Structure 1
Amino acid sequence: MDGQEALHRGYEVYRSPVDGGTMRIVFIADAHLRGTEDENQRRLVEFLDWLATERPDKLVILGDLFEFWTGFNGVIYSHYFPVLKGFEHLKNAGTEIIYLEGNHDFSLGPFFTGFLGAKVYRDSATIELDGKRFYLAHGDIVDPSLGYNLWRWFLRSPIFRLILMVVHPSFMWKIAMRLSDRGKLYPERASTIERRHREFAKRRIMAGYDVVVLAHSHIQGIERLTTDRKEGIYANPGGWREACKYMVYQDGEFMLKKYS
């Protein structure tokens, strides 16, 4: 079965309209790709190849596409060559790539901005789409815990950059995979993150945003939120790692989908 037939077998979980709009934008996040033997990566490459034939206006990656990527040392891990080639095909087809860094992939640097011409944002981005004000972020910045924020700071610090310069990339890869095995996202933690996301989205809507799109919790959903000042949309494409979930915005409407 080719990619187009497979995508048409996907399902739409929920639709939510946003007034106006003509752009076609695809949102993906939280694939946590672990290398060439990863079935998730094979499916994502197939999906990207199909997208290149459909030529959406934009592909928005909301972080943690890779289980580990840092651009500090300029290393491009060969484990990810197939999916990087898929991004190249998509770029050559005319789709703009927007990347919001996550807590597993950060300092993406020259490869994504130079070779792929992507727009890369470290924490969050405010983007005008179809006359609407969108707030985009991976979502880990919503975590209020001191421990996590210290860890997040360390991974982006000159200290960690120095470590990357000293430690061989293959050894660093093994360390990263070992740490990721210990940091799995459990359902109860995901639910807590999602509750924080909704409250955060309400505050962003009160601040003037029309749409807030976050990931990180791996929980797919679209919700219309009403505050004292205005109404807006909170959306989460869900985790690609869990059943290849993604989200589409087209003709002023959000659609949750699953690639199968």
Structure 2
Amino acid sequence: MQLAQNKKIYFASDQHFGAPTPELSFPREQKFVAWLDEIKVDAEAVFLLGDLFDFWFEYKTVVPKGFVRVLGKLAEIRDSGIPIYFFVGNHDLWMSDYFEKELNIPVYHDNKEFTFNGKTFLIGHGDGKGPADKGYKRMKKVFTNPISKTLFRWLHPDIGVKLAQYLSVKNKLISGAEDVKFLGEENEWLVLYSKRKLETKHYNYFVFGHRHLPMKLAVGKNSEYVNLGDWIGYFTYGVFDGKTFELKKLED
């Protein structure tokens, strides 16, 4: 992709809409919709890197209710001709083809490479990558197993969705009971993952979410690791103008 003059690519992750309750989530949804309205003026493309929803499951004929303003704004932007790319996170990993059929937004279930203005990017949500998190990696295999999805689909949505939402909001990141702190480059597993990838191929930027902590670190020669933060406490997002990548914070 070659950016047109004065156009930018925007990145955002970890909105967790619906948590801890729909009522408390609503102001964050309003901020996000307003941000989408603002960036559509100069957006060449928009990348959403997962956990847009705190829980999402697609039955054959049913999706979780709510999020009308967010989905409507995404549809409006996509219908205007601006590409939107969605990467599933660990909270919305059961996303199937709803976004693709209803919104014409491609959905990716793993990292994907892109090149913008000659700069190479490796983009993804970031869950299950790197040397740590072995318990989650095992759990993810269970969650994404077709048999597990079929068994869950047999639950009535009123039961299945409510159960999943209850378990999801137990996440301390959403409840505010856990303060996310920088662990140092030697312990940040997405940093280690990025450095390992550089051993076989060069990327100018590794862009991930999941960590809920905005950071931008050099991981090699002309190579940076970027974590987009979240839309719970930080309200941060990424912008690439064709030359450089910046982390920005939503203005109050």
TM-superposed deviation, 1:184: 1.9
2:146 aligned with 1:175: no
- Matched residue type, 1:170: D
Unpaired runs of at least 5, structure 1: 1-19
Unpaired runs of at least 5, structure 2: none
- Matched residue type, 1:135: L
- Aligned-partner SS, 1:25: strand
Counterparts of 1:96 and 1:122 in 2: how far apart (Å)? 18
TM-superposed deviation, 1:187: 3.1
- Matched residue type, 2:228: P
TM-superposed deviation, 1:107: 3.8
Task: Give the aligned partner of residue 32 of structure 2.
Answer: 44
Q: Is the 8 A contact 1:224 1:234 kept in 2?
A: yes
Counterparts of 2:4 and 2:69 in 1: how far apart (Å)? 33
- Matched residue type, 2:247: L
Counterparts of 1:189 and 1:170 in 2: how far apart (Å)? 36
2:236 aligned with 1:245: yes
Structure scoring higher RCO (CA < 8 A, sep ≥ 6) equals 1
Q: Structure 1 residues 73 and 154 mapped into 2: Cα distance closer, same or farther (>3 Å)?
A: farther
- Aligned-partner SS, 2:172: coil
Q: Is the 8 A contact 1:29 1:62 kept in 2?
A: yes
- Matched residue type, 2:39: L
Q: Is the 8 A contact 1:32 1:67 kept in 2?
A: yes
Task: Give the aligned partner of residue 154 of structure 1.
Answer: 142
Query: Equivalent residues in 2 for 1:37-116 (5 A)?
Result: 37=23, 38=25, 39-52=27-40, 54-71=41-58, 73-116=60-103
2:115 aligned with 1:128: yes
Deviations 1:20-53 (A, max 9, x none): 996511110011000752221121122222333x
- Aligned-partner SS, 1:106: coil
Alignment size in residue pairs:
237
Deviations 1:103-162 (A, max 9, x none): 001242222112222121101111111112210111112153332112111211122222
Q: TM-score, normalised by structure 2?
A: 0.85
Query: Please, which of 13, 16, 33 is the counterpart of residue 29 of structure 1?
Result: 13
Counterparts of 2:108 and 2:158 in 1: how far apart (Å)? 27
Q: Structure 1 residues 90 and 55 mapped into 2: Cα distance closer, same or farther (>3 Å)?
A: farther
Query: Equivalent residues in 2 for 1:174-193 (5 A)?
Result: 174-185=162-173, 186-187=178-179, 191=183
Counterparts of 1:71 and 1:64 in 2: how far apart (Å)? 15
- Matched residue type, 2:14: D
Q: Judging by fraction of residues, say which structure has more helix.
A: 1
Counterparts of 2:167 and 2:210 in 1: how far apart (Å)? 17
- Aligned-partner SS, 2:128: helix
Of 185-194 and 209-218, the range deviating more from structure 2: 185-194
